[in-house]
Amino acid sequence: MTSTVYSPNSFLSSASECPSRHSTITEPDVFVLPVSSAQQRLWFLDQLDPGNPAYNLPVAVRLIGPLNVTALEKSFQGLIQRHEILRSTLTLQNQQPVQVVHDKRASSAFHLTVLDLRGEPRGDTPKDTDTDPRLQAVLSKAIRQPFDLSSDHLLRGTLIQRHDNEHILLLVMHHIIADDWSMGVLVQELATLYPALAANQPITLPDLPIQYADFAVWQQQQLQSGQLQPQLDYWTQQLADLTPLQLPSARARPNPPSRQGAKQTWTLSPQLTTALRHLSQKTDVTLFMLLLGAFKTLLYRYTGCPDVVVGSPIANRNQPEIQTLIGFFVNTLVLRSHLQPDLTFLNLLSQIRETTLEAYEHQDLPFEKLVEALHPDRSLHQPPLFQVWFALHNAPLPDLNMGPLTLEPLSLQPDTVQFDLSLEVMESPETLTVAIEYDLDLFDAPTIGRWFEHWQTLLTGIVAHPEQPLSELPLLPATEQHQVLVEWNKTQRNYAQVGCFHHLFEQQVKKSPRAIALVFEDQQLTYQDLNQQANQLAHYLQTLGVESGTLVGFCLERSPAMLISLLAILKAGGAYVPLDPSYPVERLRFMLQDSQIEVLVTQQHLAVEPPISTPNVIILERDQAIIAQHSPDNLKTEVTPDHLAYVIYTSGSTGQPKGVMIEHRALMNFTLAATEVYEIEASDRILQFASISFDTAAEEIFPALTQGSTLVLRTEAMLHSFSEFLAACQVAEITVLDLPTAFWQQMVIELTAKRASLPMALRLIIIGGEAVSPQAVADWQQIGAGVRLVNSYGPTETTVVAMVHDLSRDLSHDLQVSSTAPVAIGRPLPNVQSYVLDAAQKPVPIGIPGELYIGGKGLARGYLNRPNLSAERFIRNPVIEVLSDLQVAEGDYLYRTGDRVRYRADGNLEFLGRLDDQVKIRGYRVELGEIEAVLQQHPTVQNAVVMLREDSPGQKRLAAYIVLHQALKPADSLEAFVEK
């Protein structure tokens, strides 16, 4: 046995000289040899999931012309004799996988599987191979056929005859013996062997200098000698603390994943191709680096994640001896970049140049060694280290001729995919072909089609202005931009100019004076009664100085008096400030103080002590006689749509509640829009459920009172149990319920468990206030038949509701049945616009999460006495220039919601959560930071974190975690401290 030194730069041995080659005693013609490190990993994966076809490597060519099948088969046998790897199997020896190289004679066992698809059905075989279902089925079956690594030929050939002069040759190898480069070697050698054998001419190919196993031996020696340690050190440092890239997928990854994949291809225009080549030359980077930079920018813009990691293949065939070999050489480079919104594309390119060159210098370390070092827990469910793949192929398989036979490469649909997303570019002299392969568990074809368009738009922007910051580069093609900004915001409705709500109400009183406006316990009020009593109080309010825009508070229990007062304030020209008497006294005092109202309407027993600054307090019982002296006739006031209609307090990031100022214009638009969308009619009987301090009460009250419907006021008893609630609704013949989502969800659970039924007259349930659980919507299908269910979404700052989504329509189209997909919040109401923008306030594409901004007629005037906060949340419309270019005249201001949403392809918005720490609990907006700040003011508290917990579904609670300076004394009640 000669000993041979293997150095990294040369393979000195020829196959026969290989030192580690030794035959087994029992089978003298069989050699047992070590495997390479990449083979070891695939062998390991195959042990975990034997026969998984994920690593079957297919290549197909179309053969046009007369074919000599025997010669073709012989050519393959020749190849098998020549390349040891093509006659190798893998097995376990001494607890280690090894490759067993079989004798050359094994080649005679190779046969092509021949299938005849001619004329089936006769004569109408589609010309196009892509659309021939029978061919595709045969190919797919052959590609998926599993290999037994220990006994099968790891190269299989199928020959499908489509016409007398047309065959498809499909070769499938297990990746453990081949890579993409090998496919080229194989096809090239075939093109030499076949014509000679077909013509019965002797043929010899130049001898192979070494065999694949020699490379494996060399690689093992290199690893054992510790030569690669510096490379391992480089990579472990380079890839420390990776952030996995969470691509915005249409669905959650199933467990286990199917890994079914699909592929789409496009061609970039010659102009763009040339421009890209120019830019790469000018900036001294390779085309690979430039395209990778653009791809990373795309991923960054989609995810907002500054740490973008992409895997990329490296042929790993630097040494000339191995360039002519078939075998699994390809290695994976993990290319990591750090992106920032203000980084220019040119700067990103320099960064990429540097990391890529460094990666090339450290390319010998087998990827699996790196995985071992960084990720000992190998999950089959998610690719290790990176989820996205990028490759540039500059040597595509050429069209070849084999004598009279022409070879055309055939593009195959992938059966399974290894990565979530792969973008591969094929370079040809004129153009670049782009192929995107994607995981069907996560993405669908239209999404990938759009993503290609985004990449193309980005590339066009980059060649025009490579000096632009990443956040400024264009992403949306004109058509998509038009769709999201204009088409989906075409909500314009010309509502007749009717002035203010109370004008409409007064018209309704004229139309139906005797219709029942209010029902409360056993009391009823007609429209005429309600109007007259409200007029009397309104006249009295005017005597107290109430005029257009004056803020008037009312703190009254749910009763006719509450509605009379509300109407009276509006009729007098004032704006109402609702104060729910069940709120903590501290909170009520704060609102009174903060709003500096001049008049307060209340009841004796409520004893809200107004601050000294409230000069006029009307106590209804006490002042009844004075009020009754006033005229019951409608008032004439100067109030216009520009005046305030109400101020509603809501929680805020300032640490204190803030008053949202809503003008009549916004309230009118909302009232008319809601009436239209909910189809409110005179025959409706609507439950007034919400606390008057929530703007949802406006959704119940205003559409009802402008349509001649009846408002039924909720009683406290109705909340004792769901059965009492439903029974009372049945008795009151309620047709419309407007419920907090959390309440409705509990009701669904109850209804399902008790098999109870809904009130007979009920036709519509509106829910809203927080994200709807998809499970509750799925369960609703069983119980809600015939009752329309609408999800309504809206911050107080945009007047009650900005978006609605008809969930029953989804259910009837079987769209929402998934109990995991987030529930949609739908499309904007009439005269409301929605924009989904990224952190740089640029529109994001369909399917990509962004922040929801709302514009249009519903916008509040701002926060009362908080100009800075108003300026922060009500911003100048950042897309107004784009809109005016598109000739759309839209509002100048948008409200920034802090809600994370995305567009579905049908234009409906999906709610994904908050961008800040605001939460909703039983309908209340709560800033967790506000509570944390209060806790931290306690002398014994060092640090505090507050969280929303939902330990059992529907049971939301706030939990505070605290670090103390010292033990709490029994007297230190933190709960009481926070409540104060």
Q: Which of 295, 268, 280 has the alpha carbon at shortest distance from 432?
A: 268
Which residues, 6 or more positions from 185, have their beta carbon under 8 angstroms from its beta carbon?
A: 324, 325, 326
Output the smallest distance, CB 831 to ligand AMP, in A: 19
650 binds, among ligand AMP, Mg ion, none (CB under 5 to 8 A by kind): ligand AMP
If DSSP states are collapsed to H, E and C, what string results for 741-756? HHHHHHHHHHHHHHCC
Rule CB under 6 A: which of 816-845 touch ligand AMP?
A: 825
Q: How far apart are CA 598 and CA 595, in angstroms?
A: 9
798 binds, among Mg ion, ligand AMP, none (CB under 5 to 8 A by kind): none
Q: How far apart are CA 754 and CA 34, in angstroms?
A: 67
Q: Which of 808, 799, 795, 806 has the alpha carbon at shortest distance from 923?
A: 795
Give me the phi and psi of 230, to 5 degrees please. -60, -35
Q: Which of 888, 898, 825 has the alpha carbon at shortest distance from 856?
A: 888
925 binds, among Mg ion, ligand AMP, none (CB under 5 to 8 A by kind): ligand AMP
Q: Is 366 in the site for ligand AMP (CB under 6 A)?
A: no
Q: Which among 333-341, 474-482, 764-772, 827-835 is the span making contact with ligand AMP, rule CB under 6 A?
A: 764-772
Which residues, 6 or more positions from 588, have their beta carbon under 8 angstroms from its beta carbon?
A: 555, 579, 581, 608
Per-position x/- string for 736-775, each x denoting binding to Mg ion as judged by CB under 5 A, each - no binding = ----------------------------------------
Q: Which among 253-261, 364-372, 785-793, 867-875 is the span making contact with ligand AMP, rule CB under 6 A?
A: 785-793
Q: Which of 218, 367, 554, 793 binds ligand AMP (CB under 6 A)?
A: 793
Q: How far apart are CA 419 and CA 388, in angstroms?
A: 6
Q: Is 552 in the site for ligand AMP (CB under 6 A)?
A: no
Output the smallest distance, CB 694 to ligand AMP, in A: 7
Q: Is 858 in the site for ligand AMP (CB under 6 A)?
A: no
Output the smallest distance, CB 512 to ligand AMP, in A: 32
Which residues, 6 or more positions from 283, have their beta carbon under 8 angstroms from its beta carbon?
A: 290, 346, 349, 466
Q: How far apart are CA 940 and CA 967, in angstroms?
A: 8
Give the residue closest to ligand AMP by C-beta. Answer: 796
Output the smallest distance, CB 927 to ligand AMP, in A: 12
Output the smallest distance, CB 667 to ligand AMP, in A: 15
Q: Which is nearer to ligand AMP, 218 or 911 (CB)?
A: 911
Output the smallest distance, CB 842 to ligand AMP, in A: 21
857 to each of 641, 776, 801, 832, how far by Cα in Å? 11, 32, 12, 6
Q: Which is nearer to Mg ion, 549 or 794 (CB)?
A: 794
Q: Which is nearer to Mg ion, 732 or 790 (CB)?
A: 790
With vertex at residue 146, the alpha carbon angle to CA 144 and CA 147, rounded to the nearest 5 degrees, is 135
Taking residue 915's Cβ as centre, other Cβ atoms within 10 Å add up to 16
Q: Is 899 in the site for ligand AMP (CB under 6 A)?
A: yes
Q: How far apart are CA 910 and CA 370, in angstroms?
A: 39
Residues in the chain: 980
Q: Which of 293, 414, 560, 794 binds Mg ion (CB under 5 A)?
A: 794
**DSSP secondary structure string for all residues of 859-887:** ---EETT-HHHHHHHEEE-TTHHHHHHTT
Q: Is 768 in the site for ligand AMP (CB under 6 A)?
A: yes
3-state secondary structure of 317: coil
Q: Is 920 in the site for ligand AMP (CB under 6 A)?
A: yes
Rule CB under 5 A: which of 345-374 touch Mg ion?
A: none
Number of residues lying near ligand AMP (CB under 6 A): 18
219 binds, among ligand AMP, Mg ion, none (CB under 5 to 8 A by kind): none
Output the smallest distance, CB 750 to ligand AMP, in A: 21
Q: Which of 238, 650, 654, 752 binds ligand AMP (CB under 6 A)?
A: 650
Output the smallest distance, CB 780 to Mg ion, in A: 21
Q: How far apart are CA 509 and CA 635, in angstroms?
A: 14
793 binds, among Mg ion, ligand AMP, none (CB under 5 to 8 A by kind): ligand AMP
186 binds, among Mg ion, ligand AMP, none (CB under 5 to 8 A by kind): none
Q: Is 873 in the site for ligand AMP (CB under 6 A)?
A: no
Q: How far apart are CA 101 and CA 723, in angstroms?
A: 77
Q: How far apart are CA 252 and CA 258, in angstroms?
A: 12
DSSP annotation of 322: G
Q: Which of 581, 897, 927, 935 binds ligand AMP (CB under 6 A)?
A: 897
Taking residue 811's Cβ as centre, other Cβ atoms within 10 Å add up to 18
Q: Which is nearer to ligand AMP, 55 or 583 (CB)?
A: 583
620, 637 Cβ separation under 8 angstroms: no
489 binds, among ligand AMP, Mg ion, none (CB under 5 to 8 A by kind): none
Number of helical H runs and strand E runs in the chain: 27, 41
Q: Is 911 in the site for ligand AMP (CB under 6 A)?
A: yes
Q: Which among 137-145, 378-386, 786-794, 896-904 is the span making contact with Mg ion, rule CB under 5 A?
A: 786-794
Q: Which among 86-94, 474-482, 585-593, 792-800 is the span making contact with Mg ion, rule CB under 5 A?
A: 792-800
Q: Strand pairing partners for 62?
A: 168, 408
As to burial, measured by CB atoms within 10 angstroms (0-12 exposed, 13-18 middle, 19+ buried), residue 508 is buried
Output the smallest distance, CB 696 to ligand AMP, in A: 7
Q: Which is nearer to Mg ion, 34 or 768 (CB)?
A: 768
Q: Which is nearer to ligand AMP, 20 or 745 (CB)?
A: 745
Half-sphere exposure of 698 (CA within 13 A, CB side): 29
Q: Which is nearer to ligand AMP, 54 or 577 (CB)?
A: 577
Q: Which of 694, 737, 695, 691 has the alpha carbon at shortest distance from 712?
A: 737
Output the smallest distance, CB 946 to ligand AMP, in A: 17
Q: Is 858 in the site for Mg ion (CB under 5 A)?
A: no
Q: How far apart are CA 965 and CA 144, in angstroms?
A: 64
Q: Which of 771, 859, 879, 894 binds ligand AMP (CB under 6 A)?
A: 771
3-state secondary structure of 533: helix
Q: Which among 70-78, 363-371, 623-631, 792-800 is the span making contact with ligand AMP, rule CB under 6 A?
A: 792-800
Q: How far apart are CA 599 and CA 91, in angstroms?
A: 90
Q: Which of 84, 179, 529, 770 binds ligand AMP (CB under 6 A)?
A: 770
Q: Which among 44-52, 285-293, 793-801, 874-882 is the span making contact with ligand AMP, rule CB under 6 A?
A: 793-801
Q: Which of 75, 88, 457, 791 binds ligand AMP (CB under 6 A)?
A: 791
506 binds, among ligand AMP, Mg ion, none (CB under 5 to 8 A by kind): none
Half-sphere exposure of 149 (CA within 13 A, CB side): 27
43 binds, among Mg ion, ligand AMP, none (CB under 5 to 8 A by kind): none
Output the smallest distance, CB 608 to ligand AMP, in A: 23
DSSP annotation of 907: S
Q: How far apart are CA 261 and CA 56, in angstroms?
A: 14
Q: Which of 775, 741, 757 has the alpha carbon at shortest distance from 921?
A: 741
- Structure tokens belonging to residue 303: 């995810």
Taking residue 221's Cβ as centre, other Cβ atoms within 10 Å add up to 16
Q: Which is nearer to Mg ion, 210 or 690 (CB)?
A: 690
Output the smallest distance, CB 691 to ligand AMP, in A: 11
Q: Which of 52, 115, 39 has the alpha carbon at shortest distance from 330?
A: 39
Q: Is 925 in the site for ligand AMP (CB under 6 A)?
A: yes
Q: What is the largest CA-CA distance in the chain?
A: 123
Q: Is 13 in the site for ligand AMP (CB under 6 A)?
A: no
Q: Which is nearer to ligand AMP, 761 or 958 (CB)?
A: 958
Binding residues for ligand AMP, per CB under 6 A? 650, 768-771, 791-796, 825, 897, 899, 911, 914, 920, 925
Binding residues for Mg ion, per CB under 5 A? 794
